Amino acid sequence: MLRMLVLVPALMACLMAGARPDTVYVAHGADRTPRIVRAAGDATEVIESRPMTGDTLTCGELCFVRLPRLRLVLCIGQSNMAGRGPMDAAAADTLQGVYLFNDRGAFERAVDPMNRYSNIRKELSMQQVGPVGGFAARYHEATGEAIGVVVNARGGSSIEEWLPGSATDYAARALERLREAQPWGDVVAVLWHQGEANSAHPERYEAQLRRLIDLVREACGNASLPVVFGEISRWNWTGRPEGTEPFNAMLRALRIPHTACVSSVGLEPMKDESDPHFSAASQRELGRRYAEALLRLENPESEN
């Protein structure tokens, strides 16, 4: 199905200023460009869809580029997955070989904040550096493949809010976006980072996480789809004597086929130990750990 692409203001400004051709990405299997509507002074200009006979097509100030088939990764959870690490100089770097699914049904070059297109997020200003950038950069480096990330997190959400039967059913909302992205590639993994909202009751969590993993795998049609989840922070921001250790110990002990748990040991807080959020540097390190865990799941013989 052809889509109409409405250009974001920054791109429209570049076009109106007569800058070099701007890139619009096209899915690997598409044989036509999207129909584009853009501002042209006080009027609106429409660039109709046209045949895409090669991997690139220049049309005036636009350059359409066909992407290779992407390795799609769904990234979901609460605030640490959404990203609360302060935006720093490194956050301005566009990642090579990594593409972010946007709110117009297409992929664009990935740059923080990665959760800005989530259909369940909190205010845009709250979306900052999370683990997705560190994950995707390392995963691309290791595989050499083009990576497409679909990031759909919600700060403060409990696992109950992600499950069917809840008023929110955040998993269904995330899977909507993943289905929209699937013409662009193959779903290879799910990353889940959540638990701060459930840390007081680790005894309930395993059954809930198993249920979430089952429904995501069923939606993707892959009973062996790799799922990687991560420990929450190890310092005690909870006000409970036992802190986060019972919850993290439960995560480490889970034995769910084709899953892995990522350690948060050594990671640092965003502000101080009253804050459950990781710093920007620790978010990137956490993301790299997610990538290494996924690579081990994909290549179990490499551990031998």
| Tens digit of each residue's pLDDT (9 = 90 or more) over 200-223 | 999 999 999 999 999 999 999 999
Query: How do residues 146-195 score in pLDDT, each as one tens digit?
Result: 999 999 999 999 999 999 999 999 999 999 999 999 999 999 999 999 99
Q: Tell me, what's the pLDDT at 283?
A: 98
Q: What percent of the chain has pLDDT over 70?
A: 92
Average the pLDDT over 285-302 and give the result: 94
Q: What is the pLDDT of residue 21?
A: 64
What structural domains does the chain harbor?
Answer: 4-66 (no CATH), 70-298 (3.40.50.1110)
Is the pTM for the entire model greater than 0.85? yes
- Which residues are registered as beta bridge partners of 58? 63
